C-alpha cells in the first residue's frame, strides 16, 4: 500500500492568518465585554477608557498572545483589593478582580473560546 499526501501550503497559510485575526478580534471582543459589564472601577473613566488596551505579543518566538493591559498606577492596587469600597455611580458592578468572571472557573469562562471559534470559522470560511 502506498499513500501519498500533498500539503496545501496556501490553505495552511489561510488558516494561520484566520487564527491570528480571530485571536486579535477575540481580545477586542473580551475587552468590549468587560466594559459592557461595567465591572472596572470608574471615576472619570481614564483607567477603563484610556489606560486599558488590547495588545499582541509573540511568546516563544512565534506563538501569538493577546493581552488586555491596564497601564495606570492604581490598577494593580485596585484589582487585588476587592475589599475596597468601590464607587458604583458610573459602573454599577465596579469592584476588584474585575476580570475574574472571564478567567477559568468564572461564570463567563467560556466567552473567549466560544468567541474565538465563531470568529475563526468566519475568517477561515468554514
pLDDT single digits (tens) 25-78: 999 999 999 999 999 999 999 999 999 999 988 777 677 899 999 999 999 999
What confidence score (pLDDT) does residue 49 get?
94
Residue 3 lies in a domain: no
What confidence score (pLDDT) does residue 19 get?
93
Q: What is the mean pLDDT of residues 75-96?
A: 95
59 or 20: which leads in pLDDT: 20
Any residues with CB less than 8 A from the CB of 30 and at least 6 apart, and which? 54, 68, 102, 111, 112, 115
Residue 10 lies in a domain: no
Q: Distance between CA atoms of 108 and 87, rounded to whole angstroms?
A: 23
Q: Distance between CA atoms of 54 and 69, rounded to whole angstroms?
A: 6
Residue 2 lies in a domain: no
Residue 5 lies in a domain: no
User: CA separation (Å) from 41 to 53, 77, 80?
Assistant: 15, 11, 12
Of 24, 7, 2, which is closest to residue 123 (Cα–Cα)? 24
Q: pTM of this prediction?
A: 0.88
> In the chain, how many domains are there?
1
Domain housing 98 = 17-124
Which residue has cell 499513500?
A: 3
Q: Give percent above pLDDT 90 in the chain.
A: 85
Q: Distance between CA atoms of 88 and 106, rounded to whole angstroms?
A: 22
- What is the residue-averaged pLDDT of the chain? 94
Within its chain, how far is the Cα of 22 from the centroid?
11
Residue 7 lies in a domain: no
Is residue 118 predicted with pLDDT exceeding 90? yes
**CB 82 within 8 Å of CB 95:** yes
Residue 82 lies in a domain: yes
What confidence score (pLDDT) does residue 91 get?
96
Residue 11 lies in a domain: no
Residue 107, C-alpha cell as written in the block: 461564570
Residue 12 lies in a domain: no
Q: Is 103 helix (H, G, I), strand (E, B) or coil?
A: coil
Amino acid at each position: 500500500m502506498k499513500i501519498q499526501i500533498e500539503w496545501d501550503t496556501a490553505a495552511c497559510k489561510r488558516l494561520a492568518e484566520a487564527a491570528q485575526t480571530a485571536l486579535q478580534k477575540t481580545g477586542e471582543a473580551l475587552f468590549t465585554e468587560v466594559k459592557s459589564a461595567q465591572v472596572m472601577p470608574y471615576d472619570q473613566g481614564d483607567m477603563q477608557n484610556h489606560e486599558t488596551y488590547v495588545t499582541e505579543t509573540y511568546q516563544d518566538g512565534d506563538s501569538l498572545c493577546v493581552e488586555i493591559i491596564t497601564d495606570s498606577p492604581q490598577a494593580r492596587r485596585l484589582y487585588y483589593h476587592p475589599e475596597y469600597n468601590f464607587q458604583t455611580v458610573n459602573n454599577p458592578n465596579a469592584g476588584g478582580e474585575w476580570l475574574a468572571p472571564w478567567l477559568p472557573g468564572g461564570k463567563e469562562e467560556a466567552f473567549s473560546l466560544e468567541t474565538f471559534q465563531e470568529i475563526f470559522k468566519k475568517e477561515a470560511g468554514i
